Amino acid sequence: MKEVLPVAETINATTIQNHLYELASAQEQEVGEEQWMYDCGSINQPQALPRPERTMVVGIDGGYVRAWKDKKSIFEVIAGKSIPAEKPAKCFAFVGSYDLKSKRRFYNHLVSQRMQPHQQLEFFSDGADNLRNLQTYLNAESTHILDWFHITMKLTVLHQCALGLIKVDEKRGKAFQHLLTRIKWNLWHGNAVRAIEHCYDLDFYLTDHLEDEGQKKKYDKIKPFQTYVTDFDKYIINNQNFIVNYAQRYNYGEVISTSFVESTVNYVIAKRFSKKQSMQWTKKGAHLLLQVRTKVLNNEWEDIFRKIYPDFRSIKSVKDPDVIQEAA
């Protein structure tokens, strides 16, 4: 706690909570007004700007915490990490269903890492609409990429279902399994159109199995199987414009998934939020604490605190990750 607040002696926990709440609330007033588009200006502006840095990679994902009113109820926390080529990475988080300035907050975060209007950005997400909308109209040079990790997760579920189908209908099950292999290969090489064609073939084999009354009764999970296939079809079709040549990127050592964000989500939304010993939260309370937590993890909280209290301890940059983790 001493890394976050000027605590020199034992203080009532409620007092600390109130002070932290006041500081976090004050920071919210500095976010700025929300806009639906931030990438604006003259078309000649990039020519007047200095040469931009190399590509900045940004990953966004979501996690869930327990609601205050009902322990069985949960709400989503959006978290992510931005990694410039030549600067330290930073994380961010907020409660999307509470924050009315989420896009402005995200834009401010990118600007804090010196994002330029003509700098190339790569946004990675699982394709959810709320995450995709958050990324749009922030930078004209941005590329939006569907996370490979989430694609493989969905394919793994279908593969497990196919193994069950093989036990009762070997011919159709193996044909289905072969199609999944072809779909994965085409997606891996960025051929979304061909992958979608194979997805339609998946529907054909399932329909053919359902029309076979003798085989239909042998596999009692055919209905959920059909739902998984339909959902996967929609997922690939809706995100086909964001599927890239993952094989090529992998060979060049470029990012293909949000695995670096998964660890950030687990780190930011720690055990007091959603893991063991998890607490129940109001959306506002969780949102405000997340702002403080990310500022501490980004090594920015002391500077914010010093603006309010200029006589706070001498300027010191905490570089030890263990110290930062303890403070967070």
pLDDT 10s digits, 56-95? 999 999 888 888 888 788 899 999 999 998 888 999 999 9
Name which residue leads in pLDDT, 27 or 1. Answer: 27
Nearest alpha carbon to residue 199 among 227, 161, 237, 170: 237
Confidence at residue 288, expressed as pLDDT on a 0 to 100 scale = 92
Highest mean pLDDT among 8-17, 47-56, 187-196, 215-224: 187-196
pLDDT above 70 coverage of the chain, percent: 84
CA atoms within 13 A on the CB side of 62: 19
Nearest alpha carbon to residue 57 among 114, 118, 142: 142
Name which residue leads in pLDDT, 319 or 222. Answer: 222
Residues whose CB falls within 8 Å of the CB of residue 213, separated by 6 or more in sequence, listed in order = none
Domain positions in the chain: 13-38+53-147+257-327, 149-247
E strands, 152-309, where? 280-281
Name which residue leads in pLDDT, 315 or 241. Answer: 241
Residues whose CB falls within 8 Å of the CB of residue 272, separated by 6 or more in sequence, listed in order = 278, 279
- The three-state secondary structure class of 100 is coil
pLDDT above 70: residue 274: no
Confidence at residue 252, expressed as pLDDT on a 0 to 100 scale = 94
Global pTM reads 0.82
pLDDT above 90 coverage of the chain, percent: 39
pLDDT above 70: residue 40: no
Classify strands 280-281 and 56-67 as parallel, antiparallel or unpaired: parallel
